[in-house]
Amino acid sequence: MIKILSLTALLWTLLPSAAAAQLLPSEPVRLFDGRVRLGGEVSATIGAKDDEAFFNYTDYERNTLRMFRIALSGVWQPAARVAFLGEVRSEDLEQPGAYAAYIRVRPWPNVPLDIQAGRIPPVFGAFGRRRYQSDQILIGYPLAYQYLTSIRADALPATADDLLRMRGRGWRSSFPVGSPEPTPGLPLISAFRWDTGVEATWSTPLFDTALSITSGTLGNPRLRDDNGGKQVAGRMAGRPATGLVIGGSAARGAWISDSVPHAAGSHAQTTLGADVEYSRDHWLVRSELVWSRWDVPFWTSPAEGSTIGALARWIEGRYRLTPRIFLAGRADWLSFSTLTGDMFGETPIAWEAPVRRLELGAGYSVQRNLVVRAGVQMNRRDGGRAEKRTFSSTQVVWWF
Amino acid sequence: MVLTRLGSGLRTRPSRRTVSTAASALALCWFFGFSIADGASSVAAPGAIRGRVELRQPPADHEPRPNVADLGMHTSHGATDRRRSVVYLDPGPRAAFDARDEPHARMDQRNETFMPHVLTILAGSTVDFPNNDRTYHNVFSLSKTKTFDLGRYAAGRSKSVRFDKPGIVRVFCEIHSHMSAYILVFSHPYFAVTDDQGRYRIENVPPGTYTAIAWNEAMESQSRRITVADGGEADLDFSLSRQ
């Protein structure tokens, strides 16, 4: 960690001065007469440690407010209607991994239908495709796409109390059925991994329609299927007016790993989402709502049945104060359905501790592709061993 | 001396270096612009400078970032004509500064492209940026010569910016990363943009000996001395190389 922080601090110092001296590229690199294009992004985020509340940890056990990331993406387009795309990422200087690797084909030249297969971008929602830090207006991630709930695909609670006991402990939860090793739980949707499968998209100037079939689920994207069923996800988005995008998404797929002994039947994660974006003049506003439900085969079923749910909603906005300076903010809520167990005197209680988050930030564009940001994030959780935490963080992002 | 600097070998990225050196040249041109060029005469008949700017390795079109998060093929955008060069005198003849007007110029946004890609204007000009595209655009510049941000505005609308200071302004769209353009702001009217074949013509140049500079966004700028006779035409060709 010391090495990462040192490198981050060094980049903090060197990147702006290198940019000012015009030493850094600002456009994609073209090779082979433009048939290959390479782009990249480096982001360094410095924030305080959080080894107690784990509000900003990802499913890779990394802190989004304290992260160094290098990403290199590329497109090879050997023909007009065929392209191979990929992205390699390293977070906190660990071994790089393939974040995206897929083929894109347009079968008919005059039909706006594209088919993509491989490790593909998510169809569901809007935030998951804003993969560049530079596309995001704040340093932190929305709770729906990052916050770790206690449920796991490779371990299951045997009773409602097993689940209630893990409230606020999504960063490292454990259950009696399945893997005994404590590991991070699942977010509603993972913004840090992409799923593997095939998707088809139909785009017109007024609307987009997309459908995908993948191995994992929104919360647990996978390279290989280990849950005995495919996930089907779809999205429709319309542009009724310039600057306005309204979208609706749905996904359903088996989510429990085959390694966990559980009763046969449908054990799916079902998710519905709605999103809207509106921009005008110097304003940009985005909002998203995600409702998710998991079928959990409790060995001892609680009175409410064997499903648990979660509802996330957030709204964020950005205002450009000057050509170089912008202000941004996000209000974020994550709540859960209730469950009755013995632990709380048979009083129904949310199966996971509800979380609220308010994040405020400001950014400064040193140049078009070099942005420095700072923010403060306030978290409140109705449970867990740390219920309140406020974090400040700063970030430098450079892309080409 | 500006000319020496333009010909020197600072090793940075081509377009960036060209921008910074040429911007310096334009600024100094403005600063020293009131000096009389060698042998210039206000009573003699004006001449012209014409010629051709050859680009040894023409720059490629701007491409969008390889955004792997797209769910389909990116819609094609208009080609950016990066072959356009600008030839200008540095410094300009004194007569150039005697009269000023405040003309309007126009830089369109069409098919996710700024048109023209290179715009030359006189200081004091106002440039209109009409959005003639199907989508929002957000024209902005962080250039030292002129920093501005017009915000997002829809098709059919137009916003304007006045450019008072000579120099080079690089213009971008905040929404479309492949959209960029250059506005070169001069303090005198002795400049010309090359045509499709690289040809240019600077009119109404008072007789005298001048330094002419050829600029292209991706090339090393080149300066050459040229003498314009009374009422005559002087030929001056340039050959620019990638940095």
pLDDT at A32 over 50: yes
Integer-rounded Cα Rg, in Å, for chain B is 19
User: Residue A85 is nearest to which of B13, B66, B136, comparing CB atoms?
Assistant: B66
Q: What is the pLDDT of residue B18?
A: 46
What does the buried/exposed string (b/e) look like for B83-97 if buried means 16 or more CB atoms within 10 Å of the residue's CB? bbbbbbbbbbbbbbe
Q: pLDDT tier at A244 (50, 70, 90 boundaries)?
A: very high
Of A11-15, A234-238, A290-294, B124-128, the poorest mean pLDDT is in A11-15
User: Residue B142 is nearest to which of A34, A279, A368, comparing CB atoms?
Assistant: A368
Q: Which chain B residues are closer than 8 Å to A89 by Cβ?
A: none
CB A124 within 8 A of CB A270: no
Q: pLDDT tier at A306 (50, 70, 90 boundaries)?
A: confident
Q: What is the CATH number of domain A2-399?
A: 2.40.160.10
- For residue B6, the enclosing domain spans 2-65+78-240
Q: What is the pLDDT of residue B72?
A: 85
A21/B12 CB distance under 8 A:
yes
Q: What is the pLDDT of residue A5?
A: 56
Q: Determine, yes or no, domain membership for B101.
A: yes
B71/A203 CB distance under 8 A:
yes
Model confidence, pTM: 0.85
Q: Residue B166 is part of a domain; what is its CATH number?
A: 2.60.40.420
pLDDT tens sequence across B188-214: 999 999 999 999 999 999 999 999 999
| Rounded mean pLDDT, A173-186 | 94
How many domains would you assign to chain B? 1
pLDDT at A62 over 70: yes
- For residue B144, the 8-state DSSP code is S
Domain boundaries, chain A: 2-399
| Rounded mean pLDDT, A356-380 | 96
Tell which wins on pLDDT, B29 or A272: A272
| Rounded mean pLDDT, B83-102 | 76
Q: What is the pLDDT of residue B98?
A: 55
Tell which wins on pLDDT, B33 or B108: B108
Length of chain B: 243
| Rounded mean pLDDT, B223-232 | 92
Which amino acid appears at position A250 of this protein? Answer: A
Kindly indicate whether the ipTM for this predicted assembly is greater than 0.90, answering yes or no: no
| Rounded mean pLDDT, A85-114 | 94
pLDDT at A75 over 70: yes
Q: Determine, yes or no, domain membership for B156.
A: yes
* Nearest C-alpha in B relative to A84: B68
pLDDT tens sequence across B213-222: 999 998 999 9
Q: What is the pLDDT of residue B4?
A: 31
pLDDT tens sequence across A106-162: 999 999 999 999 999 999 999 988 877 778 999 999 999 999 999 999 999 999 999
Percent of all residues in chain B with a pLDDT value above 70, rounded to a whole number: 77
Q: pLDDT tier at A343 (50, 70, 90 boundaries)?
A: confident
Q: Which chain A residues are closer than 8 Å to B62 by Cβ?
A: 27
- Angle at B215 (CA atoms; ends B183, B234), nearest 5 degrees: 115
Mean pLDDT of chain A: 90
| Rounded mean pLDDT, A94-105 | 94
How close does chain A come to B23, measured CA to CA in Å?
A: 14
Tell which wins on pLDDT, A251 or A225: A251
- Please state, in angstroms and rounded to a whole number, the distance separating the CA atoms of residues B241 and A337: 67
Q: What is the pLDDT of residue A264?
A: 66
CB A133 within 8 A of CB A70: no
Q: What is the pLDDT of residue A88?
A: 96
B66/A123 CB distance under 8 A:
no
Q: Which chain A residues are closer than 8 Å to B68 by Cβ?
A: 73, 75, 85-87, 99-100, 102, 121, 131
Q: Determine, yes or no, domain membership for B71.
A: no
Q: What is the pLDDT of residue B36?
A: 39
